[in-house]
């Protein structure tokens, strides 16, 4: 994985292919590499949909190896949703296949003069780019089916749906899973819109004839991987809760804690929570012959992704994630798992971020476009996006745009990106992360639910401002580093509680690369990435005023605890005082 594939979509005639060495980017992967390239090569004040922006797709340092949980991939750009730097993370097979092909990144540059769609094919023999306007305005599922018929079923696909072609702020980049379904998405920040602006509909990866990447010290690598896997399997979250119920295991936990945002963040508890819980979802899946325990990529030992069948027992979508069940469920007052799964399928097919879309529909419901709890109306609203109607384009541009167009004051966004499934008043550490993350409101940037609600890595009172700055700071640093390895963020539960599991992860990196990294070096990597991202955002025009929650979270108390967000602005400004 020692080269970068650059494709200049502005080149006259056909796009220009160039293969570079890593150069100054040597040693970086995943988020570290995407943010390094964007911060160095993209003008911070450029238009996100213009020729000067770049889309970077990068597997992690350990992707394509035998390391467990190493199949995550990063997609980076200047975000058309936030206007700042963006890294969106996804599972699926893309990272492993791209890494085995030897590429540390694919960089899409420039912008075609004409509105022509291209597909890109990459295998061991090289890169082929062809025009294919027959794919215009096709959904991700149909697109992948067509690519399978052309290239076979031993491939991995990266694609955009209608939302990406329309360059909407909630557009995603889809990655196929082990069953070659486009069910794993780099969801946040409108990365799909940037891919659409480059005129690229799909990238097909075929690693036939390529071997798994080999470590510098195979024996140490194997031993560290074994210890690492054992730690994941013995931890109650990664070894029991997530495999049994998926990420949706959190519904009852967060609802009981009073931090489950309901009806566009008006309440912290949802009366219908038990109907959409992880336990209820897993039981439904089993009854219909599906499976709540499933890996989104080879080498996953947590296996939290799951499969969802409809009432007739046919595949509909992957198991909806906790954030999806919340956004299209409690946030919209909907307690029907079949409706939520249909919304998830539509989002994946059109190429839409489920968090942003659920938040946008919640705002639309507040505006009177539909009633809270009306599942059929919610489905119809998402279908408007697929049709490309004016209403659909508004909703597909995100919660912030929806609030502006329909005159709604209570819009749960930071840096114009919708908040995920934890109310910052009842889980104050998450409020700090939402406010200060370089990415806009993003739960994965610093997942304070660990100590705030789950007692993982210590305990910090979720209703108090005390200790939240330090908690968010440490987790944002650690997350930036983990996002660079290709590791799934869910390993954090085990590595926060088990020193030997953390040490095994570091040892895997060292055994593979030949480095001698320490825990301090891992922390320094995270700080380096965050500093690059902060500098980019500052040059793009962001200030401390952008590191704030909407005012109503400070003024309106949240039932059932009747609390407001109480971390001071002065304290928020110290998060990045490394």
Answer for the pair 76, 87: CB distance below 8 angstroms, yes or no: yes
Whether 419 contacts 359, CB under 8 Å: yes
Residue 518 has pLDDT above 80, yes or no: yes
Q: Report the pLDDT averaged over residues 119-125.
A: 98
Q: Report whether pLDDT(341) > 80.
A: yes
The DSSP code for 238 is I
Domain ranges of the chain: 3-205, 258-421
Contacts of 147 (CB under 8 A, 6+ apart): 119, 155, 157, 159, 202, 204
Q: Average pLDDT, stretch 462-467? A: 98
Instruction: Decide the pairing of beta strands 126-131 and 118-123.
Output: antiparallel
Q: What angle do CA 189, 192, 198 make, to 5 degrees?
A: 125
Question: What average pLDDT does the segment 344-360 reach?
Answer: 98
pLDDT in tens, 10-52: 998 889 999 999 999 999 999 999 999 999 999 999 999 999 9
| Beta carbons of 64 and 212 less than 8 angstroms apart | yes
Return phi, psi of residue 333, to 5°.
Answer: 70, 25
For 390-439, how does the pLDDT look when each residue is reduced to its tens digit (9 = 90+)?
999 999 999 999 999 999 999 999 999 999 999 999 999 999 999 999 99
Q: Tell me which CATH homologous superfamily contains domain 3-205.
A: Aldehyde ferredoxin oxidoreductase, N-terminal domain (3.60.9.10)
pTM of structure = 0.97
Three-state SS for 75?
Answer: strand
Backbone phi and psi for residue 78, each to the nearest 5 degrees, phi listed first: -85, 125
- Give CA–CA dist 551/574, Å, rounded: 20
Which class in CATH covers the domain with range 258-421? mainly alpha
Residue written as token pair 């690693």: 207
Give the chain's radius of gyration (CA, Å).
Answer: 22
Average pLDDT over all residues of the chain: 96
Nearest Cα residue to 267 out of 563, 561, 559:
559
Tracing tokens 């306007």 back to the chain, one arrives at 133
Determine what percent of the chain is predicted with pLDDT higher than 70: 100
The model's pLDDT over 165-193, given as tens digits with 9 standing for 90+, comes to 999 999 999 999 999 999 999 999 999 99
Angle between helical axes of 468-485 and 428-436 (0-180°, round to 10): 60
269 is written with which tokens? 């508890």
């Amino acid at each position: 994985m020692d080269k970068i594939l650059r494709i200049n979509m502005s080149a006259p005639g056909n796009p220009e292919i160039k293969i570079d060495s890593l150069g100054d980017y040597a040693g970086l992967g995943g988020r570290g590499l995407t943010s390094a390239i964007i911060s160095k090569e993209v003008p911070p004040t450029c238009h996100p949909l213009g020729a000067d922006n770049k889309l970077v797709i990068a597997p992690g340092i350990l992707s394509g190896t035998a390391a467990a949980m190493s199949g995550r991939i990063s997609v980076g750009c200047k975000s058309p949703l936030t206007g700042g730097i963006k890294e969106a993370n996804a599972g699926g097979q893309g990272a492993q296949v791209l890494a085995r092909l030897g590429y540390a990144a694919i960089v899409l540059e420039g912008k075609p003069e004409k509105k022509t769609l291209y597909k890109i094919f990459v295998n061991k023999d090289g890169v082929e780019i062809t025009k294919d306007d027959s794919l215009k305005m096709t959904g991700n599922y149909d697109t992948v089916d067509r690519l399978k018929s052309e290239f076979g079923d031993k491939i991995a696909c990266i694609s955009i749906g209608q939302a990406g072609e329309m360059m909407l702020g909630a557009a995603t980049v889809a990655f196929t899973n082990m069953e070659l379904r486009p069910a794993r998405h780099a969801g946040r920040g409108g990365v799909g819109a940037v891919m659409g602006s480059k005129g690229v509909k799909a990238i097909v990866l075929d690693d036939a004839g390529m071997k798994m990447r080999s470590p510098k010290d195979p024996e140490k690598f194997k031993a560290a991987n074994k210890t690492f896997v054992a730690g994941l399997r013995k931890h109650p979250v990664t070894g029991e809760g997530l495999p049994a119920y998926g990420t949706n295991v959190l519904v009852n936990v967060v609802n009981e804690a009073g931090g489950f945002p309901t009806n566009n963040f008006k309440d912290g508890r949802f009366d219908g929570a038990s109907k959409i819980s992880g336990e209820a979802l897993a039981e439904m899946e089993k009854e219909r012959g599906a499976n709540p325990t499933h890996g989104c990529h080879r080498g996953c030992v947590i296996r939290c992704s799951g499969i969802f069948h409809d009432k007739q027992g046919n595949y509909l979508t992957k198991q909806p994630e906790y954030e999806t069940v919340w956004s299209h469920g409690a946030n919209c007052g909907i307690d029907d798992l079949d409706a939520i799964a249909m919304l998830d399928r539509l989002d994946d097919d059109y190429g839409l971020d489920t968090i942003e879309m659920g938040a946008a529909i919640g705002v639309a419901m507040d505006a009177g476009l539909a009633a809270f709890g009306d599942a059929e109306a919610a489905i119809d609203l998402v279908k408007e996006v697929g049709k490309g109607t004016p209403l659909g384009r508004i909703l597909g541009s995100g919660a912030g745009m929806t609030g502006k167009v329909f005159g709604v004051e209570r819009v749960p966004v930071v840096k114009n990106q919708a908040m995920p499934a934890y109310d910052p008043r009842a889980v104050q550490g998450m409020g700090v992360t939402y406010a200060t993350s370089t990415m806009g409101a993003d739960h994965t940037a610093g997942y304070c639910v660990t100590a705030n609600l789950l007692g993982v890595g210590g305990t910090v009172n979720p209703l108090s401002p005390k200790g939240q700055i330090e908690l968010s700071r440490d987790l944002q640093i650690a997350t930036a580093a983990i996002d660079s390895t290709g590791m799934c963020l869910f390993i954090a539960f085990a590595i926060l509680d088990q020193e030997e599991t953390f040490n095994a992860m570091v040892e895997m990196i060292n055994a593979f690369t030949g480095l001698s990294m320490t825990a301090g070096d891992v922390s320094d990597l995270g700080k380096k990435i965050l500093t690059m991202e902060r500098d980019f955002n500052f040059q793009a025009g962001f200030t401390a005023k952008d590191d704030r929650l909407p005012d109503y979270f400070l003024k309106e108390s949240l039932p059932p605890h009747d609390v407001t967000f109480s971390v001071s602005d002065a304290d928020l400004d110290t998060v990045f005082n490394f």
